[in-house]
Amino acid sequence: MSAVTRTNLLSAPSRPRITATTRRQWTTGFLFLSPWIFGFFAFQLLPILFTIFLSFTDYKATSEFKLGNFNFVGLENYKHLLIDPLALPSMGVTLKFALIGIPLGLIIPLILAVLVNNRRLMASSFFRTLFYLPTVIPIVAGTIIFNGVMNAQSGWLNLVLKALGITDPPRWFTDPTWAGFALNLLAIWAVGNAMIILLAGLQGVPTELYEAATMDGAGPVTRFIYITLPMISPVVFYNLTIGVILAFQYFVPALLIGSANGDPQKSLLFFPMVFYREAFVFSRMGYASVLAIVIFVVTMIATGLLFYFGQRLVYYAGGDIS
Amino acid sequence: MRKLMFVFSVFMIASMLLSSCGTPANPQPIAAATDTLAAPADTAAPAAAATEAPTAVPSPTIQPPTLTGGEGCDPAATQVTWFVGLGSGTHPEDIVLEKAWVDKYNKSQKDACVILNVVPNTGSNSYDALRAMIAGGNAPDIVGPVGKAGRASFQGGWADVKPLADKAGYDLSKYDPQLLDFTKDEGVLVGIPFALFPSFIYYNKKLFDEAQLPYPPHKVGELYIGKPWDLANFQDLAMKLTVDKTGNDATNPAFDPKNVTQFGFFEQWTDARGIAAFFAGGIPYDAATNSAVIPDSYSAAWKWYYDGVWKYHFMPTADYQNSDQFNKGNLFASGNVAMSWVHTWYTGSFDMSKMNWDIAIMPSVNGKITAKLHGDTFAIMKESKHQDVAFKVLSAMVIDPDLPIIYGGMPAVIADRPAFFAKLDAKAAPNKIDWSVAQEMLKYPDLPNHEAWMPNLAKANSLLGAFRTMMDQTPDVNMDDAIAKLKGDLDAAFKTAP
C-alpha cells in the first residue's frame, strides 16, 4: 500500500504553471466580479461588522455616527437581553407564526402548482398568472388592502362569513387570538413565487417515470407520493429553507397592521419588531444591534439544523440521497 | 380527474367573477346614503396626526421629498437646513407656501441661506430620514413645526435655545412663562413658542338636524336643552346621535351595537394621556419619587371612555374606526360621526367647505372644563453646526405671521390671530365657523399638559399608545387591573430611563 502511494506521489504531475493567459483571464474575471465584491463589502459585510461593534456600545441614533459618540459598555447590552420582558415572548410570536406559516407556505403552493401543472386544466397559463400576480404587488399595498378586506365590520371576508350564517365572525386584526393566524392567511395570498418554483420542479420530472408507474398500476396518489414528491424534493427543500429564513425576518405586514406596539396586545410583536422599536423608536442602537445579531444567529442555527436533518430526505437525480 | 379539473376551472372563474361583481366591500350605511354632504373625499394624511396617531397606516403612494437649492441666497451666506416632516407642513399646498417663505427670507438678508427639506411622513419614513441625516453627520439645523410627541422621538437631540437667545439679544420675557415652560423638554427650552392648537368639539350640523337636536353650546355657561353642559348631558347627547342600521339610537334598548352606522362622539387621533385630558390635566409621573402615579382623573376618564366604547356604544371600537364606512381612521371626515374632539390642526385634514359643520365648547367634568392644548415650535438640533445662524432664522420664523396659517395653528401673538381666522373662514366657506370657541377654549388648557415631559418619554408614549389601542380593541377588560398593569409598566420605564 505504501509502495503504491509512494509511486503515485512520485508519478504525480507537477502543479501546472499559471500562464499569462490564465492570469489575464483571472484578472478579467475579478474585474467583472468587482462590482459585486465591492457591493458585498460596502453594503453587507461592513454593516454586519458595524452591527457587532455597536452591540458593545451605547450609541443612540440621536447623535452623529462618529468617534466620540460611542461609549463602550462591554456586555451590558447582551445582559439586558436576558431581562428584556419582550424578547422571549416576541420570539414565541415569531416561532408560532413560523410553525403555522411554513407548512402552509409549502403545502398550498404545492397544491396550486400540481393543479396548474395538470394538462386537463382549462386556461392553465391564465391561472398560473393569476396565482403569481399577488407576488408583484408591493407588500405595503397588499397589507393595506388586506387590512380592509379583513376588517371585522366592513371587510368582505366577514361579510361573506355573515352571509354564510356565522353571526359572530372573527375580529381578525383586533383579537389577539386571531391576529397571528390572520397574518398567516395574508402570507398565503403571496405564495405565487413558491408555486412558480415548484411548478418548474414538477415540469422537470421525466414523464416516462409516470408512464412506467401507470403501466405498473399506480394510481394518481401513489404516483404523487412515490414519484413526484421525491423528484421535486430539492425544490421543496429550497422553498422550506427560504420559508424558514423569511419567517424569522417577518416584519412589514406585522408593523403595518399592529403598529410598533404589536397590537392587539402584543400578539403581533414579532422579534424583528422588538429590534425595530429599540433602533427606530427608542433610538437605542447598541441594544438593537444585539437583537439584530440574535435574529442572525437564530436564523443561522435554524437553517443549519434544517440542512443537517432535512437534507437527508432530499433525493437528487444523480442517485445520491445525501 | 378530467371532471375534477373542469369543476376546479369553473369554480375559479366563477369566484373571480363573483369577487368583481359581488357585494361591494363598502356598504353604505342608511344614514350616510341620504347624506349628500356627509362623505368628503379628503383622504389626505392628517396634518398633525403623525405626532399623535397611535396607529399610523402608511399610504402605498409615498409623496417624494422636497429639497430646495438655496436660490436667491447671498454666496457668502451660511447654509441652514430646515427639515419639515415630524408634524404638519408636508401637504403639497403647504410646501408651496414654505418654499415661498424660504425665497422671501433668503432674499431679505445675507447671513443665512435656508435650504428647505420636506420629507412627508408615511408610516415612519420622515423619522427614519432624520435619523439617517443625523447619523451621517448631516443633521439639519432647524426642525419643525414639531410638537412634544415628535420631539420625544429624538429625545436629547435638541439644542438649548436659551443661551442662543441670550447671545442674540432675543427677549424671551415677552412670552408668558407658562408658554415657555410648555416649550421645554427635560427642563431645556428647545424652541420659541410659535403656534397654539387648542381643542374643542367639531360637530356635524347635518347629523344634528337629522336627529332634530339643537347644536351644542358655543359659550361657556350656556345650557343645553335646559341642563348644564356637563358630562352626563354630553353623554346623553352622544348616545342619541349614535344610530344603528335599523335607525335605533343608543338610548333605545333595541339598539344593535354590532351594526352601527353613525357614532355620536369620537376622541380622534390622541393617545391615552389625551383621552385622560377630557376630565382634567395631569401627569402619570411623580418627580419626587421618580415613579408612576396614575391621577384619579386619568383613571376616571379611561373608564368613562372604555364604557363609552363597549358598554354605551356611543364611541367606535377599533374595528369601526378602521372600517371603510368611517373613513379608515379619519372618522369625523367620514360624515358619520356627529361630534369629534380634536385640535385646530384638524382643519387641514378634511374638506372644510363640503361638510356642514361648526365647533362647540368642551363639556364640564366635575364642574371643570378642560380643553387639551398642543403647541408647536421650531427646534434647533444639537448636532447643528451653525446654531447661532440657525437661531437667527428661527427667531424670524416664529414672528412671521405667514407661517402659523400654513400649519393651522393659532399664532402665539394675539394680534396675528384675526388674519389666521380670516384665512380659515375662506377655506370653510360657505360654512361660518364660530372661531370664538377656539379662542375661548385656549383659556382652559390641560395643566399639566397631556404631552408633558416624563423620563423615558418615547417608551412611556409607546405604553400609553398601546393602552389606548387596547381600550379600542378589547371587550370585557377589567379596567382597574389594566390601569394597575399600565402603572407598573410605566414605573419600570421611568426607573430604567437612560
> Hey, where are the domains in chain B?
49-196+374-441, 198-371+446-495
pLDDT averaged over every residue in chain B:
85
Would you say B141 and B390 are in contact if contact means Cβ atoms under 8 Å apart? yes
Residues of chain B with C-beta less than 8 angstroms from the C-beta of A60: 156, 498
Report the gap between the CA of A300 and the closest CA in chain B (Å): 28
pLDDT band at residue B2, thresholds of 50, 70 and 90? Answer: low
* B383 closest CB neighbour out of A64, A120, A284: A64
SS3 content of chain A, % helix, strand, coil (to 5): 70, 0, 30
Interface probe for A, chosen from B134, B146, B477 (most Cβ of A below 10 Å), is: B134
Q: Look at the block and give the residue holding cell 421650531.
A: B378
Confidence grade of residue B186 (pLDDT, cut at 50, 70, 90) = confident
In a shared domain, residues A42 and A130: no
**Residue of A80, A111, A147, A151 to mutate, testing the B interface (most B Cβ within 10 Å of its Cβ):** A151
User: Bigger pLDDT: A312 or A135?
Assistant: A135
Identify the CATH number of the domain in which residue A82 sits.
1.10.3720.10
A40 and A84 both lie in a single domain: no
pLDDT at A13: 57
The 10s digit of each residue's pLDDT in A25-75 is: 999 999 999 999 999 999 999 999 999 999 999 998 888 888 888 899 999
- DSSP count for chain B of H helices, then E strands: 18, 19
What DSSP letter does each residue of B36-92 carry, written as one string? TTS-----PPPTTGGGT-SS-PPPSSPPPPEE---TT--TTSEEEEEEE-SSS--SH
Gap from B293 CA to chain A (nearest CA, Å): 22
The percent of residues above 90 in pLDDT, for chain A, comes to: 81
**Which distant-in-sequence residues (6+ apart) come within 8 Å of B150 by Cβ?**
B50, B51, B86, B87
3-class DSSP assignment, residue B238: helix
Domain that holds residue A42: 16-54
The CATH architecture to which B49-196+374-441 belongs is 3-Layer(aba) Sandwich (3.40)
Euclidean distance between CA atoms B486 and B489, whole angstroms: 5
With an 8 Å Cβ cutoff, are A120 and B320 in contact? no
Strands B112-118 and B78-84, bridge-based pairing? parallel
State the CB neighbour count (10 A cutoff) for residue B484: 13
Closest chain A residue by Cα to residue B153: A281
* C-alpha torsion angle, residues A224, A228, A233, A239 (rounded to 10): -80
Hey, how many other C-beta atoms are within 10 angstroms of the C-beta on A237?
Answer: 18
A interface test, pick of B5, B244, B317 with most A CB neighbours within 10 Å = B5
Contact B295, B303 (CB under 8 A): no
Nearest chain B Cα distance for residue A144, angstroms: 8
Whole-number percent of chain A with pLDDT over 70: 93
CA distance B283 to B364: 20
Q: Is the link from the previous residue into B404 a cis peptide, with omega within 30 of 0?
A: no
pLDDT at A11 over 60: no
Percent of chain B with pLDDT over 90: 59
B 147-176 residues with CB below 8 A of A? Answer: 153-157
pLDDT of residue B419: 85
B251 or B6: which leads in pLDDT = B251
* B25 to A156: CB separation less than 8 angstroms, yes or no: yes
Do A177 and A30 share a structural domain? no
Note whether residue A71 is domain-resident. no
The string of pLDDT tens digits covering residues B311-326 is 999 999 999 999 999 9
* Amino acid B7: pLDDT: 54
> What are the pLDDT digits (tens) for A273-303?
999 999 988 889 999 999 999 999 999 999 9
Q: Residue B126 and residue B168: Cα distance in Å, rounded?
A: 31
> Looking at the domain assignment, is residue A11 inside a domain?
no
| Residue B34 confidence (pLDDT) above 60 | no
Are A219 and A306 part of one and the same domain?
yes
Same domain, A136 and A275: yes
pLDDT above 60: residue B253? yes
Q: Which member of B1, B139, B320 has the closest CB to residue A64? A: B139
- Which of A151, A159, A280 lies at the smallest CB-CB distance from B322? A151
Q: Do B49-196+374-441 and B198-371+446-495 fold alike per CATH?
A: yes
pLDDT band at B47 (very low <50, low <70, confident <90, very high): very low
What 3-state DSSP class applies to B188? strand
In a domain, A50, yes or no: yes
Banded pLDDT at A177 (limits 50, 70, 90):
very high
Indicate the number of domains in chain A: 2
Nearest to B9 among A123, A140, A266 (CB): A123
Average pLDDT over residues B352-373: 96
pLDDT at B25: 34
Please, are residues A106 and A240 in contact by the beta-carbon 8 Å criterion?
yes
Contacts of B459 in chain A (CB under 8 A): 282
Q: How far apart are CA B173 and CA B413, in angstroms?
A: 14
State whether A171 and A42 are in the same domain. Answer: no
Domain assignment of residue A215, yes or no: yes
A219-255 pLDDT, tens digit each: 999 999 999 999 999 999 999 999 999 999 999 999 9
Task: Tell whether A241 and A194 lie within a shared domain.
Answer: yes
Does residue A88 lie within any of the structural domains? yes
Residues B198-371+446-495, CATH architecture: 3-Layer(aba) Sandwich (3.40)
Q: Are B41 and B333 in contact (CB under 8 A)?
A: no
- Averaging pLDDT over each range in B170-174, B184-188, B191-195, B470-474, which range is the top one? B470-474
pLDDT tens, residue by residue, B393-447? 999 998 887 787 777 788 877 777 888 899 899 999 999 999 999 999 988 989 8
